[in-house]
Chain A
Amino acid sequence: MLPLAFLGLFFAWPVLAIVSLGLREGGVVSALFSGETWELVGFTLGQALASTVVAVVAGLPVAFVLARCRLRGLGFVRAAVMVPFVLPTVVVGLAFRTFWPDGGVLPIVLANAFFNVAVVARTVGGLWAHTDRRAEDAARALGASRPRAFLSVVLPALAPAIGSAAAVVFLFCATSFGVVLVLGGSRYRTLETEIYLRTVELFDLSGAAALSLLQFAAVLAVLVLGALARRRRETALSLRGREELARRPSGGEWCVVAVAFGVVAALLTPVVGLVTRSLSTRDGWSFAGYAALASRGDRGTLAVTGIDAALNSVRTAFDATLVALVVGVFSAVVLVGLRRSGSRISEVLDTALMLPLGVSAVTVGFGYLVTMDALPGDFRTSPMLVPLAQALVVTPLIVRMVLPVLRAVDERLRQAAATLGASPWRVWREVDLPLAGRSLAAAAGFGYVVALGEFGATSFLARPDAPTLPVVIARLMSRPGELNSQMAYAACALLMVVTVGCVLLIERLRVPSSGEF
């Protein structure tokens, strides 16, 4: 019940409040039937679809390399792929604007795909690494060429993972906020940015509510499709150690490896660009931006120093991760228990837990402002507000990471522990927890990094005297002055360093465990 209570209080209530606020003002129906709305829907879905296709096409070679190849420097590739996913959206938007100063559709699609290559590579790679290679070998022995064996044996086996990754990517792209805002300007708008514009600048709540409802419906549809894909995947999954499956690539496989490294290089270009920008000024190379992090920016742009903001980020993300970890692990345990007892509720709860991923962070943030004053102690100014909003974003990711591992724990292993005298709680502590331990730690690290980079809801809720680093970056960017932009780029670099550090730590945790089950 705890996860449901958390979801209800900090997600459903604020979102419903916003929607009903809009409904009460009327005009929802007319907004729903205006041609402009449907143009927005068309563009939103179209760019999301294009981004998803690009992400899948770019992600598959990387997944292959991560899952099937034994090469030097794979740890680096794995970390490099993750970096874009956890970069603050504003940062990415800015990085792409250095290449396309005017924005446009192409940079929007590319930037969205840039974020999500990691999702495809990790989700598909995860299944690929544990799929029996012998089926492919059998097809080859029966006379199939390598591409033919891939198309008729490997691809169908991976289809569930590709489907579920594509669903998640589609969600992320359809609701992406920072990127579209920075690169689309007023010309290219999606539902998400339009909700923001109407709420914040036009105070057109009924229009925003109508759009929120539309978005909600679309998200729900995609989630249900994703859940169906996941169900097929779990029945098909027979885990094998990756040690026996990874080998040095041969022949045509080197082409795939080359493409994968090309993708990684492309992913790193904006990152490298950002770091370069943080170090170069009109007068040549300098650390001025980094030095300025100790100040409040040019002419007091900020209420706090960059260092303070960074510390605040670290603290906030820590709290958010803690909350998300408690709620996420608890949910995963409940879900596994329900699934074991064959309950249908588990699927509903499973999908419900994914909803926060797809609902506009702007809606949630605004909803908080509307509802939270009803709670005891003025919650609107509580320092816990930002961590809670971030936890909402992080929890689904933690559930997704921990759930498969908990499900893969053999029921009979738990029964063996029980017959040896372990109570149910003891079984969980002695069997499930040690087996899921590494992936739990990895999920925590991952969640931490995502919380660190969260922008949408945080930008709405963070108080001016306690901003996080991404909020500071956005503020610095919106102000003139070379020192400000210098400082923003330096802050981006700082954020990336922390991110890469976390990801490398996670990799260290994950790799030795993969051979065990």
Chain B
Amino acid sequence: MALELDSITVRYGQTVAVSDVSLSVADGEVVALLGPSGCGKSTLLRTIAGLEKPSSGAVRWDSRDLAGVPVHRREFGLVFQDGQLFPHRSVAGNVAFGLRMQKIERESRDKRVLSLLELVGLEGYADRRVTQLSGGEQQRVALARALAPSPRLLLLDEPLSALDRALREQLAVDLARLLREAQTTALVVTHDHDEAFTLADRVAIMSRGRIVQVGPPAEVWSSPVDVETAKFLGCNKFVPGSFVGLSAGRVGLRATALRVADSGPLEGTVLERVHRRDHVRLLVEIDGEEYEAVGPMTEVGDRVRLEIDLDGVARIG
């Protein structure tokens, strides 16, 4: 195991920001810490980087306790939400910073800077001022800067949250490819499940300072550990398993669980209709209960038949 967190607790005065968290990240693995804002995930990340001291517990790398190792000797790269580029240096100057700290000679430094700028798709930007870059470009430079000194572990703190939606989705895919290609060991903190599931090999769900569930994205998505986690992952209706033909206890329904289809087993009345980017979302009343559903064009007041799509159903527990 490359990174190992052993029952870490972080306190600020009376408040407990992180409570008894254990987690491990294997060599070359990308793990996402997913949770709502204020759940303590950023604090955990900062603790790993060495920017916060844990009140108890240990951060280990290859079984070595990092308690006495200061930030600048941990060789962990960190990417902030808003880049935090050095405003007084050019793009190349920013990317070269970590290499200069390692006293790498100029020639190989320049070469590495160019190859990294190419990697993040910013060829020819070397001499630009960072204040002239767009948000997406700045974030790419921040990534190149963090990757340049070949960190043992890359920590990403909401790396895409400050960008607008289209750019975010594009960059998430790019970032996932980039992390795989470079075989980077990385820990990503995010509140956006699309981002987490796109990037990560494993997802750790955090809530109120604790990790409540760890697993591969598909597993976490299809069987969240409890109702709260299921809600965070998009479930808005909770029903007995028998409702969807499953024997298990309770299940959570996402909007996509019910789909309008002429041959469907359920029948309901359309109450409201909202257009989304690529589908129509409906509010349907079935046996006096309201459910969300997706479907083709229907009018409010129509009687519709609905089928169940198990991809939209999450088994609790």
Residues of chain B with a CB closer than 8 A to A434's CB = 88
**Closest B residue by C-beta to A416:** B84
State whether B101 touches A420 (Cβ < 8 A). Answer: yes
State whether A420 touches B87 (Cβ < 8 A). Answer: no
State whether A418 touches B80 (Cβ < 8 A). Answer: no
State whether A419 touches B72 (Cβ < 8 A). Answer: yes
Give chain B's interface secondary structure class. Answer: mixed
Within 8 A of B (CB), among A378-434: 410, 412-413, 415-424, 426-427, 430-431, 434
State whether A435 touches B84 (Cβ < 8 A). Answer: no
| CA–CA, A419 and B146, complex, Å | 8
Q: Shortest CB–CB separation between residue B141 and chain A, in angstroms?
A: 12
Identify B51's interface contact among A415, A422, A430, A517, CB under 8 A: A415
7 residue pairs, one from A and one from B, having the closest CB atoms: A421-B101, A420-B98, A419-B78, A418-B71, A434-B88, A416-B84, A418-B72
In this assembly, does A283 line the interface, its C-beta being within 8 Å of a C-beta of chain B? no
| CA–CA, A423 and B77, complex, Å | 15
Identify A516's interface contact among B51, B80, B88, B98, CB under 8 A: B88
- Which residues of A does B touch, CB under 8 Å? 410, 412-413, 415-424, 426-427, 430-431, 434-435, 516-517
Q: Shortest CB–CB separation between residue A267 and chain B, in angstroms?
A: 35
| CA–CA, A412 and B52, complex, Å | 13
Residues of chain A with a CB closer than 8 A to B87's CB = 435, 516-517
Residues of chain B with a CB closer than 8 A to A410's CB = 84
State whether A516 touches B131 (Cβ < 8 A). Answer: yes
| CA–CA, A424 and B51, complex, Å | 12
| CA–CA, A415 and B45, complex, Å | 13
Residues of chain A with a CB closer than 8 A to B125's CB = none
A-B contact number at CB 8 A:
64
For this complex, 20 residue pairs linking A to B, each with C-beta atoms less than 8 Å apart, are A412-B84, A413-B84, A417-B86, A417-B97, A418-B51, A419-B49, A419-B78, A419-B155, A420-B72, A420-B77, A420-B101, A420-B145, A421-B98, A421-B101, A423-B70, A424-B72, A426-B72, A430-B86, A430-B97, A516-B87
State whether A419 touches B76 (Cβ < 8 A). Answer: yes
**Closest A residue by C-beta to B131:** A516
**Closest B residue by C-beta to A241:** B131
State whether B78 touches A413 (Cβ < 8 A). Answer: no
Q: Shortest CB–CB separation between residue B131 and chain A, in angstroms?
A: 7
Binary contact track B72-97/A, C-beta < 8 Å → 1, others 0: 11111110100010111000000001
| CA–CA, A423 and B87, complex, Å | 19
Residues of chain A with a CB closer than 8 A to B73's CB = 421
| CA–CA, A415 and B155, complex, Å | 13
Q: Shortest CB–CB separation between residue A423 and chain B, in angstroms?
A: 5
Within 8 A of A (CB), among B58-74: 70-74
Q: Shortest CB–CB separation between residue A144 and chain B, in angstroms?
A: 33
Residues of chain A with a CB closer than 8 A to B75's CB = 421
In this assembly, does B102 line the interface, its C-beta being within 8 Å of a C-beta of chain A? yes
State whether A415 touches B101 (Cβ < 8 A). Answer: no
Q: Shortest CB–CB separation between residue B73 and chain A, in angstroms?
A: 8
State whether B97 touches A420 (Cβ < 8 A). Answer: yes
Q: Shortest CB–CB separation between residue B100 and chain A, in angstroms?
A: 8
Q: Shortest CB–CB separation between residue B139 and chain A, in angstroms?
A: 13
Known: A415-B51, A415-B71, A516-B131. A420 touches B84 (CB 8 A): no
Q: Chain B CB within 10 Å — which of A415, A419, A427, A435 has the most?
A: A419
Residues of chain A with a CB closer than 8 A to B84's CB = 410, 412-413, 415-416
In this assembly, does B149 line the interface, its C-beta being within 8 Å of a C-beta of chain A? yes
| CA–CA, A413 and B86, complex, Å | 7
Residues of chain A with a CB closer than 8 A to B77's CB = 419-420
State whether B72 touches A431 (Cβ < 8 A). Answer: no
Residues of chain B with a CB closer than 8 A to A516's CB = 87-88, 131
Q: Shortest CB–CB separation between residue A340 and chain B, in angstroms?
A: 12
| CA–CA, A424 and B70, complex, Å | 10
Q: Shortest CB–CB separation between residue B22 and chain A, in angstroms?
A: 23
| CA–CA, A410 and B80, complex, Å | 12
Extra contacts, 7 of them, besides A421-B101, A517-B87 (Cβ < 8 A), are A415-B71, A415-B84, A416-B145, A419-B155, A423-B70, A424-B72, A516-B87
**Closest A residue by C-beta to B77:** A419
| CA–CA, A50 and B145, complex, Å | 56
Q: Shortest CB–CB separation between residue B151 and chain A, in angstroms?
A: 8
| CA–CA, A410 and B155, complex, Å | 19
State whether B146 touches A412 (Cβ < 8 A). Answer: no
| CA–CA, A421 and B84, complex, Å | 16
